[in-house]
Amino acid sequence: MTADEMIRAFDVLVANPKCELEYSSPYQLLVAVILSAQCTDKRVNIVTHQLFADYPTPEKMLKLSQKKLGELIHSCGFYNSKAKAILDMSNDILSKYNGQIPDKLEDLISLRGVGRKTANVVLSEAFKKDALAVDTHVLRVSNRLGLSSSNNPDIVEDELKKFFPKKNWSRLHYQMVLFGRYKCKAKKPDCSNCPFQRNCKMFLNK
């Protein structure tokens, strides 16, 4: 399939792609994406509903100790490392960027606790820039569709960006995430009527 054919197929499969994390500022989106590692967006939204009501800004978040923040986000898993990442990131936002979330990739990934995937999600979602974040779903779908054979997210990101036009990157990110989350699942994907069957290594090897 050409890039255009794939774009058209994703537009049919996921007609209204959107971020499922709830937030009301770029800072809160950063926190939510950090919490979403190895956790469902549904669980993150349950936790952040109260967290963001009480601690909506980096200044307020830094009133929490790592231990207390860990207790509040416990159900998201990896709560110690996530609490540290959120507090480190909040400190850097205040000390390096005067409390403003930067809108450049190199600045975002300079923040402690913020990796390339998190930065790309914030760029596309909060700042509406062309960015293509590679999470576990995007990586799996890319591998199955033969868009990349790498399991390194940075390499997959490069290969996807070369294949698809820039103006489609952000939309495709969400389409691939939602396609991977609900149809092309890691285990027992729903291959019935999938438009990618002819291109799919997994389907062809069944």
In the complex, the residues that contact ligand SF4 under the rule CB under 6 A are 144-145, 183-184, 189-191, 194, 196-197, 200, 202-203
As measured in angstroms, the least distance from the Cβ of 162 to ligand SF4 is 20
To ligand SF4, the closest distance from the beta carbon of 61 in angstroms equals: 39
C-beta of residue 123 within 8 angstroms of C-beta of residue 105: yes
Active site residue 96: no
Q: Which is nearer to ligand SF4, 10 or 23 (CB)?
A: 10
Q: How far apart are the first and last CA of the chain?
A: 20
- Choose between 24 and 205: whose C-beta lies nearer to ligand SF4: 205
CA–CA distance, 24 with 35 (Å, rounded to integer): 16
The conformation of residue 170, written as its DSSP 8-state character, comes to H
Given the residues 42, 63, 135, 154, the one annotated as active site: 135
CB of 175 to ligand SF4, least distance (A): 12
Q: Where are the alpha helices (DSSP H) in the chain?
A: 3-13, 26-35, 41-54, 58-61, 66-72, 79-97, 105-108, 116-125, 136-144, 153-163, 169-182, 201-204
In terms of CB distance, is 100 or 151 closer to ligand SF4?
A: 151
Active site residue 162: no
Residues annotated as part of the active site: 117, 135
